[in-house]
């Protein structure tokens, strides 16, 4: 799946750049959102079928994956933020706040632009966009290795929307249920965590 | 977010109440092909964003460092937690 993902993404970037240079205006959200809704609906049907087939216990079984992914995403992302801060010689609180977006680029970039500077907002935006792109590339590889919980954590907060269909396709409907819960929890956590991490006295 | 919640709940209800081979085939086809459409349009969004493209050169390396470290360390930490939880379960049973 990885090669078609790279090709589709590159073709999209190229097409977008061509549209931009041609001065054409195209509202991608108007197309992306309905496509995303259809995909999430399909993932939901898959989850419903899985529960009907295997019973509600199957949801409990996916709880282990959800818990591992939650703990792993939280620890791994903050460790990564600290390490990136050291490598890029940034203050620790700013670096942690950038990574604390957990892939939710629209929100974290706006918050950090207001709290700090447009420069830090742009860094948060770009790094979280890259994280989402990386998730599309890594999920098929991690799924092949059988690391299903890791597929969820790579995606961060996007595991409940944009990357959910990829998780569902590569790992199955049990992991998709865990992925949705994981993404939902981080969606609630990010608006709280970004200001908390930014205000840390480090 | 509300729309996503509605879609996943509606889907789960449909899946719980109605199960048929054609629906499973349709879901499988959607997940197999439409996902590429989503990725393509995500790329279009990136290509269209002038600010994002112009910032890639200036802060792109820093952003890539953040993204790669976050993705990779999250994956490995999750793997470690997953194995620890499985081991804990194994000992209990």
pLDDT in tens, B34-63: 888 888 888 888 888 887 787 777 788 999
A175 interfacial to chain B (CB closer than 8 Å) = no
Q: How far is B55 from chain A (nearest CA, A)?
A: 8
A103: left (phi over 0), alpha (psi -120 to 50) or beta: left
CA distance A65 to A193: 23
**pLDDT at position A1 over 70:** no
| Region of poorest pLDDT, from A55-69, B7-21, B75-89 | A55-69
Mutate to test the interface with A, among B7, B18, B70 (most CBs of A within 10 A): B70
**pLDDT at position B10 over 70:** yes
**pLDDT of amino acid A2:** 66
**pLDDT at position B92 over 90:** no
Contact A165 B35 (CB under 8 A): yes
**pLDDT at position A173 over 90:** no
Contact B45 A16 (CB under 8 A): yes
pLDDT category at A199 given cuts 50, 70, 90 is very high
Sign of CA pseudo-dihedral A115, A117, A119, A122: positive
Percent of chain A with pLDDT over 90: 40
Residue A117 to residues A80, A100, B15, B21, Cα–Cα distance (Å): 22, 16, 47, 54
**pLDDT of amino acid B1:** 67
pTM (predicted TM-score):
0.80
Residues 7-66 of A with CB under 8 A from B: 8-20, 26, 28-29, 31-33, 35-53, 64-65
Residue A82 to residues A157, A193, B39, Cα–Cα distance (Å): 19, 15, 30
Instruction: Return the number of other C-beta atoms located less than 10 Å from residue A49's C-beta.
Output: 22
**pLDDT at position B72 over 90:** yes
Sequential DSSP letters for A163-198: THHHHHHHH-HHHHHHHHHHHHHHHHHHHHHHHHHH
**pLDDT of amino acid A162:** 86
CA distance A133 to B48: 16
Q: Write the ipTM.
A: 0.84
* Pairs of CB atoms within 8 A across A/B: 300
A4 interfacial to chain B (CB closer than 8 Å) = yes
pLDDT category at B66 given cuts 50, 70, 90 is very high
**pLDDT at position B68 over 90:** yes
Percent of chain B with pLDDT over 90: 29
Three-state SS at A174: helix
Q: Which residues of B touch A52 (CB under 8 A)?
A: 15-16, 19
**pLDDT of amino acid A96:** 96
CA distance B78 to A186: 15
**pLDDT at position A139 over 80:** yes
pLDDT in tens, A71-114: 999 999 999 999 999 999 999 999 999 999 998 887 888 889 88
Q: How far is B4 from chain A (nearest CA, A)?
A: 6
């Amino acid at each position: 799946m990885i090669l078609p993902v790279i090709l589709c993404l590159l073709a999209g970037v190229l097409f977008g750049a061509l549209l931009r240079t041609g001065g054409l205006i195209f509202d991608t959200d108007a197309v992306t959102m309905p496509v995303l809704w259809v995909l999430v609906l399909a993932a939901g049907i898959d989850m419903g079928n899985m529960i009907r087939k295997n019973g509600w216990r199957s949801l409990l079984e996916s709880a282990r994956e959800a818990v591992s992914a939650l703990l792993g995403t939280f620890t791994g992302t903050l460790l990564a933020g600290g390490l990136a801060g050291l490598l890029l010689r940034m203050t620790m609180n700013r670096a942690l706040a950038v990574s604390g977006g957990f892939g939710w680029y629209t929100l974290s970039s706006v918050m950090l632009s207001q709290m700090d500077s447009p420069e830090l907002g742009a860094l948060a935006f770009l790094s979280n966009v890259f994280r989402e792109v990386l998730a599309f590339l890594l999920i098929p590889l991690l799924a092949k290795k059988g690391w299903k919980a890791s597929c969820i954590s790579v995606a961060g907060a996007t595991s409940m929307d944009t990357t959910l269909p990829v998780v569902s396709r590569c790992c199955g409907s049990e992991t998709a249920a865990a992925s949705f819960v994981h993404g939902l929890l981080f969606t609630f956590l990010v608006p709280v965590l970004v200001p908390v991490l930014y205000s840390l006295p480090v | 977010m509300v729309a996503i919640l509605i879609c996943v709940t509606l889907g789960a209800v449909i899946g719980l109440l109605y199960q048929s081979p054609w629906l499973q085939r349709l879901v499988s086809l959607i997940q197999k092909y439409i996902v590429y459409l989503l990725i393509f349009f995500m790329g279009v969004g990136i290509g269209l964003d002038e600010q994002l493209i112009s910032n890639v050169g200036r802060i792109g390396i820093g952003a890539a460092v953040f993204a790669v470290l976050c993705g990779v360390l999250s994956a490995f930490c999750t793997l470690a937690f997953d194995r620890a939880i499985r081991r804990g379960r194994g000992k209990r049973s």
